[in-house]
Amino acid sequence: MTNRVLRRRDVEALTGLGRATIYRHLRAGNAPRPIRLAERLVGWLERDIEAWLASRARG
């Protein structure tokens, strides 16, 4: 796992989920929270997304 910051399109490609589905999981508290990079810019730590995917595969 790495500490690389992924943008939303990277998260979409990695998870296979669309934008609306990612944000639906965020609102429900089922996805890792993004980190604020700038006023209108967020990203996710790659390790958090990988851990989230692994937990979804297990359960």
Looking at residue 58, what is its pLDDT?
81
Q: Say whether pTM exceeds 0.85.
A: yes
Looking at residue 57, what is its pLDDT?
87
Looking at residue 20, what is its pLDDT?
98
Task: Give the integer Cα–Cα distance in Å for 8 and 11.
Answer: 5
Order across the sheet with 41-45: list the strands: 5-6, 41-45, 35-38
Domain ranges, ordered by start, for the chain: 5-58
pLDDT in tens, 15-51: 999 999 999 999 999 999 999 999 999 999 999 999 9
Is 1 a residue whose pLDDT tops 90?
Answer: no
Is 59 a residue whose pLDDT tops 70?
Answer: no
The CATH code of domain 5-58 reads: 1.10.238
- Let me know: does 7 contact 45? Beta carbons within 8 Å: no
